[in-house]
Structure 1
Amino acid sequence: MQITLSFGESQKFELQLPDDKIVALCDGAGPTLESIPTAVETALTNPPQFPGLAEATVPDDLIAFAIGRHIPAVGEIVAAILEVASRPELADRRIAIVLPHDAGDALQQGVKQLVGDGERVVCEVHDPDDRNKLAFIGASKENRPIMINRILSDADMVIPVGLARLDSSLDYFGPYEAVFPTFTDRETMQRLSAPTFVEQPVLRKRRAGEATEVGHVLGVLFGLQVEANGPQTIQAIRAGAIDVLAAQIQDDLAKSWRYQPSKRAALAIVAISGGREQQTWANFARALAVGSAATDDNGAILICCELATHPSSTMLQLAEHDDLDEQRRRIRRERTADAAAALQLATTLDRNKVYLLSALPEGIVDELNMAPVANLDEARKVCEYYESCTFIAHGQLAEVAVEGEEISSDIDWDQYAL
């Protein structure tokens, strides 16, 4: 059987394998959305079971769009939002586009150019370290202070625009992710990026529940959810009452991104697709988690990507000694940006051999206790060595559950309702 697996910006991993060696080819994303502007227009002017933007607001209202992270074609989506906001029926409303603190320079410049110098429409890049741009909106059920971007706290209507993901995804915060912790203070961001939230499903659910609670305190009722078709393309843009929408959208996501091979394989080949913004340690960790779910104990995972970012000090400390239990105990105390990825790597290495085809120097890959793969020819030899293989496209978005194995994804959003 001929296999073609895309990874990176435009790389293709092609090889021929006997049919009986292939357990599964997980590459079934749905069709790509034909028109982003049309989808955004429909979402904002004629959403299901919710009034359109003009009917849901009154003159002089401030409508704030909280733009989430990792959204494909986000520049086109923002442009379409501003096009709808420029219509006569919304001319007496004020509009704010609030971007995440780590929004890329190209996105920031593009949105600011679209917004211009007028006073009716503004663009702000969130600063989690500026207390003057944060507001206290209450305390959580765990008696933690809730700090939110001041524009969002002052807005008459907050509309989160977020990337929809499966509830069981490695680091998913739920349907309010585009509000919290995306637009909170630095201390809260660091607390909620603790590696233990990645490792322990119970804590992961609690974290998602906290985001839902914050969304309700802020009064968020309506939202836009983007269903990705790939790292840079969109399958659908859905709108509506956010709690109802989030539950409905899980079925769509499962059809597109949840795969159920008949059995585990000796080797899982996981591709991280997309340009530089997708080639991150966070996506590497997601790919590892997916690969681990698809392969046997003591099997192997081959990650195909163009990751080039030098690992953090937390990642590099994995090279200091071979006691993985001690490494995990140490990493759990870290609050660096790559701590969760480091914990995922340490956990995976305890169970699987990891091969990495990337843009990193071979010496660094070797220091991290992975086996460097220099080129596609070497990758083919790895696949030929193992007796069975499962191939997974868009590993940062996919999820694998072998038949007969369950995924814990039951988050009771109702328990966080006001």
Structure 2
Amino acid sequence: MQISLSFGESQKFELQLKDEKIVAICDGAGPTLSSVRSEVETALTNPPQFPGLAEATVPGDLIAFAIGRHIPNVADIIAAILDVTARAEMADRRTAIVLPHDAADHLQAAVTAMIGERTDVTLERHDPDDRNKLAFIGASKENRPIMVNRILSDADMVIPVGLARLDSSLDYFGPYEAVFPTFTDRETMQRLSAPTFVEQPVLRKRRAGEATEAGHLLGVLFGIVVEANGPESISAIRAGAIDLISAQIQDELAKTWRYQPAKRAALTIVAISGGQEQQTWANFARSLAVASNAADDNGAILVCSELTTFPSPTMMQLAEHDDLDEQRRRIRRERTADAAAALQLATTLDRNKVYLISNLPEGIVDELNMSPVANLEEARKVCEYYESCTFIAHGQLAEVAVEGEEISSDIDWDQYAL
């Protein structure tokens, strides 16, 4: 059978394998939206079971759009938001576009150009370190202070624009993650990115509950949720009550991104697709977690990427000692942004051999206890060496559970309902 697996911005891993060697090809992305702008306009002007934006607000109101992270075609979405807010029926309202702290410079520049001379629109990139731009909105059930971006706190209406993800995703914060912790203070971001919050189901539940509390304290009732068809394309845009549509979307995401191979494979090949904004250690960790659910114990994983970012000191701890148990204990105490990714790599290396195609120097990959693969020809030889293979496209979005095995989100969203 001829296999073609896309990765990176435009790379393709193509090879010919005997049918009996192929366990599964997990690549089921559906159709792509023909017009993102028209869908966003409909979501804001004629949403199901909600009044349109003009009817839901009054002159003088400040409407703040909290733009989540990793959203495909986000510039087109923001352009559509600005088109709607410029209509005559929206006169005398004010609009704020709040971008995440790690938003790309080119996105900020593009939105600035879109706004142009409009005086009714404010653009802000969140700064988690500036206490003057943060506001206390209440305490969580665990009596922790909840701080959010001051523009969101002061707004008359907050509309999160978030990316829909499967509940079982490696670092999923729940349906309100476009608000929290995306727009909280640095200390809270670091606390909630701790590896234990990713690793332990009880703490994952607690973390997601805190995000939901923050959304409720802000009075968020309505939001826009984007379903990805890939890292840079969209299959659907939903609007409505966040709790309700997020639960409904889980079934749709499962149909697109959840795969059930008949058995585990000796080698799992997983692709990180998309341009440089997708080629991150966080997406590497997500893809590695997915691939480990499809690979045999003591089997191997081949990650196809265009990673160029050098690993942080937390990741490089894996190069310092051979004792993986000791490394995991040490990484669990870290509060750096990529500590969870480092822990995932350490956990996977304890069970599987990991090969990596990337744009990193081979010496760096080798120091991380992975085997560098220099080119696609070497990757083909790796595939030919193993007796069975599973291929996973868009690894940062997918989920795999071999038949007879289950992946549970362990999160009961009902307990956080209003």
Contact 1:201-1:408 within 8 A present in 2 as well: no
> 1: CA distance between counterparts of 2:352 and 2:257?
23
1:33-182 matches, cutoff 5 A: 33-182=33-182
How much does 1:119 deviate? 2.8
> 1: CA distance between counterparts of 2:49 and 2:144?
34
TM-score scaled by structure 2?
A: 0.99
The residue type paired with residue 121 of structure 1 is V
Contact 1:213-1:417 within 8 A present in 2 as well: no
Contact 2:201-2:410 within 8 A present in 1 as well: no
How much does 1:118 deviate? 3.4
Contact 1:64-1:98 within 8 A present in 2 as well: yes
Contact 2:307-2:358 within 8 A present in 1 as well: yes
Alignment partner, residue 8 of structure 2: 8
RMSD: 0.8
2:143 match: secondary structure: coil
> 2: CA distance between counterparts of 1:25 and 1:202?
33
> 1: CA distance between counterparts of 2:391 and 2:417?
40
Alignment partner, residue 205 of structure 1: 205
Alignment partner, residue 225 of structure 2: 225
Alignment partner, residue 278 of structure 1: 278
Contact 1:303-1:354 within 8 A present in 2 as well: yes
Contact 2:243-2:417 within 8 A present in 1 as well: no
The residue type paired with residue 335 of structure 1 is R
How much does 1:8 deviate? 0.4
Q: Deviations over 1:225-270 (max 9, x none)?
A: 0000011000011101111000000011001100111111111000
Q: For structure 2, which runs of at least 5 residues remain unmatched after alignment? A: none
> 2: CA distance between counterparts of 1:266 and 1:199?
25
> 2: CA distance between counterparts of 1:216 and 1:415?
13
% identical aligned pairs:
84
> 2: CA distance between counterparts of 1:193 and 1:303?
23
Contact 2:78-2:111 within 8 A present in 1 as well: yes
2:277 match: secondary structure: helix
How much does 1:413 deviate? 1.5
> 2: CA distance between counterparts of 1:416 and 1:222?
16
Contact 1:299-1:352 within 8 A present in 2 as well: yes
> 2: CA distance between counterparts of 1:299 and 1:381?
16
The residue type paired with residue 336 of structure 2 is T
Q: Deviations over 1:14-56 (max 9, x none)?
A: 0000000000000000100000111001100111111111111
How much does 1:208 deviate? 1.0
How much does 1:117 deviate? 4.0
1:137 match: secondary structure: strand
Contact 1:228-1:234 within 8 A present in 2 as well: yes
> 2: CA distance between counterparts of 1:403 and 1:63?
46
> 2: CA distance between counterparts of 1:64 and 1:126?
13
How much does 1:150 deviate? 0.4
The residue type paired with residue 219 of structure 2 is G
The residue type paired with residue 67 of structure 1 is I
Q: For structure 1, which runs of at least 5 residues remain unmatched after alignment? A: none
> 1: CA distance between counterparts of 2:305 and 2:325?
28
Equivalent residue pairs, number: 418
The residue type paired with residue 16 of structure 2 is Q
> 1: CA distance between counterparts of 2:77 and 2:391?
31
> 1: CA distance between counterparts of 2:260 and 2:33?
25
How much does 1:410 deviate? 4.2
Alignment partner, residue 305 of structure 2: 305
1:257 aligns to 2:257 (yes or no)? yes
Alignment partner, residue 319 of structure 1: 319
Contact 2:61-2:155 within 8 A present in 1 as well: yes
Alignment partner, residue 369 of structure 1: 369
> 2: CA distance between counterparts of 1:410 and 1:193?
18
Q: 402-411 or 324-333: which moved more?
A: 402-411
Contact 2:272-2:284 within 8 A present in 1 as well: yes
> 2: CA distance between counterparts of 1:112 and 1:98?
12
Alignment partner, residue 189 of structure 2: 189
Q: Deviations over 1:83-135 (max 9, x none)?
A: 01111111121100000011101000111111224331111111111111100
> 1: CA distance between counterparts of 2:247 and 2:410?
11
> 1: CA distance between counterparts of 2:264 and 2:207?
30
1:402 match: secondary structure: coil
Alignment partner, residue 403 of structure 1: 403
